[in-house]
Each structure stands twice: as C-alpha cells, then as structure tokens.
Amino acid sequence: MTSHKPLKSVSHNFGHSFISLMNHIGNDYFLGHLLKQARKTNFNRLEVDILKNTASPELLLTDTIRSSIENWNKWFPDLVKSSGSTMDFVSVAIMTIEFDLQKTRPFPSDNRYTENPFTCEIKIIDDRGKEYKHRHEGWWFPETE
C-alpha cells in the first residue's frame, strides 16, 4: 500500500545520491562541474524543478550539467515508487544547490585544490500541502580547474 510517509526519505535519498560519488560525469563529479561553472560565471545557486525537468540559471547549464540533471530527474519517479509512495502524491519537487564562493579553503588531502562549502536542499510538497525537506552540507572542489 502506498503512503505519503516515504516522501521524507525520498527528499533525503534523492539529494544524497545526486551529490554523491555516484554522480560522476566524464572527468569529474557533478558538483565539481557545477562549482567550476559557478566560479566561471559567478552564479552560485542552481535551482532544479525535478517534476518539470527544468533548471536555472541558464549560465550554469553546460551540456554536461544539463544532461546529468535530466538523467537524475528521470530516476525520481522510480525512487518515489520503490520507496513505497506514488507520484500521485507529489505536487512539487525542487532541488537547490548553492555554493559559498566567498569562502574557500585548501582541500585537506591535496592543497593544489581549493574547495568551497555548499548546501543541497530537496523540498517535496505532497498533494495535501505537507512539506518534506532535507538539507545536505559539505565542501567540494573541481578535479579539473
């Protein structure tokens, strides 16, 4: 039987998987590609509408970044279903990734790299208006500068 309750874990698991080492593209991880583009454009915040499969701002959306977002958004309904819920319960699903470009530190294991702090927040609103939100925080650096 489907339930609304798993949507809380979906908000955690989608974000955790998206920013994890599972999201490797070509020569870097997704967050590395995004941080490199954020530093280049000075736009530090990406917003993804998972249900509409859209993201902004456009200046952050290289082909690599856009392709990864589209692939993960396609996986979202399967995650909801396998968690024991249904897309019929999901009215809104938004992911926001934001870097603090003003704050840097050397990467502890290799000071050739400079990393920035980031947050990744997933917000799901169900068909009853209830919000399920999870926030991940950490530091990241591009492997290719």
Q: In this predicted structure, what is the pLDDT of residue 145?
A: 62
Q: Cα–Cα distance between 57 and 76 in angstroms, integer?
A: 21
Q: How far apart (Å, rounded) are the C-alpha atoms in residues 43 and 40?
A: 8
Per cent of the chain over pLDDT 90 is 95
Which pLDDT score, from 0 to 100, does residue 144 have?
72
- Residues in the chain with pLDDT < 70? 145
CA separation for the pair 78, 85 (Å, rounded): 10
CA neighbours within 13 Å on the CB side: how many for 64? Answer: 15
pLDDT of residue 1: 86
Query: pTM for the full model?
Result: 0.95
